Amino acid sequence: AGVPSTVATLAVAYGAHVTLLPRWPRIVEIARRSAEVAWGILDVRFYRPARDIALDLLNRRPRMLDPYALAIEQKSLDNMLRDLGVGDGTAATRNEAIERATRLYEEELNAGVFRNLLRGNVVRLLLVQVQQLKAGLLQAMGSIDDLVDKNRINVQLLAAIPALLIVGFGTRVFFSVLFSFRSGSALPKLKEEIQEDMNDCLRRIEWRLLMSGQDAG
């Protein structure tokens, strides 16, 4: 009994070898592409959302704005307004000083652009406006950073929902099929039943997101 079974095994192995040998490069290429696709799904749907959520929780995300840069630019603007004689160099009077500088700039233009460009304060007023623009842009970048930080975790959680659905339903289907093979009595769920369960789960997630948005509002 041992020799015939061994001969049959060798015959099957030889047949598989002869059949697969001409197609082996194609099989290797398909396996490589499948591995790349699988890794891409794992990277985009699992690894990156989990990494970004961890970085957000640990507050290690790089920000567009250096907090010291805004303070330096605002202090420089206050000093320029003080040297111009329209402010006292403090943040409390910055808006009032900017308004005075704007009026002074209009007066300089009305008095003659070319004459005041050489003898007046037009150049200094232009520099003040440039400095004000720099400080305003940095302040806007800080507001964008705050807005992104407040919503980044929500976006990452939404990006991770498809991965959680894949894991959840894949696990259910796997154990259902495994139980059916082991018991021999229960059959795995049909495609329509699985699709119905997925639609029901998506509806529940959508309802919870809507309710959370209403509570936040």
- CA dihedral in degrees (172, 174, 176, 181; nearest 10)? -170
pLDDT in tens, the chain (217 residues): 455 667 777 788 778 778 878 888 888 888 888 888 888 877 877 777 777 777 766 666 666 667 777 788 888 888 888 888 888 888 888 888 888 888 887 877 777 666 666 666 777 888 888 888 888 888 888 887 777 777 766 766 776 677 777 777 778 777 776 776 665 544 445 556 667 777 787 788 778 777 766 665 5
Q: In angstroms, rounded to a whole number, what is the distance separating the alpha carbons of residues 104 and 110?
A: 10
Amino acid 135: pLDDT: 85
Provide the whole-model pTM: 0.44
Q: In angstroms, rounded to a whole number, what is the distance separating the alpha carbons of residues 145 and 42?
A: 28
Contact assessment for residue 81 and residue 98, using Cβ atoms and an 8 Å cutoff: yes
Listed in order, strand segments (DSSP E) in 54-150 are none
Q: In angstroms, rounded to a whole number, what is the distance separating the alpha carbons of residues 86 and 91?
A: 13
Q: What are phi and psi of 132, to 5 degrees?
A: -65, -40
- Percent of the chain residues past pLDDT 70, beyond the cut: 74
Amino acid 80: pLDDT: 86
Nearest to residue 105, comparing CAs of 73, 130, 88? 130
Amino acid 146: pLDDT: 76
Q: Which residue has the tokens 């409390």?
A: 92
Amino acid 186: pLDDT: 46
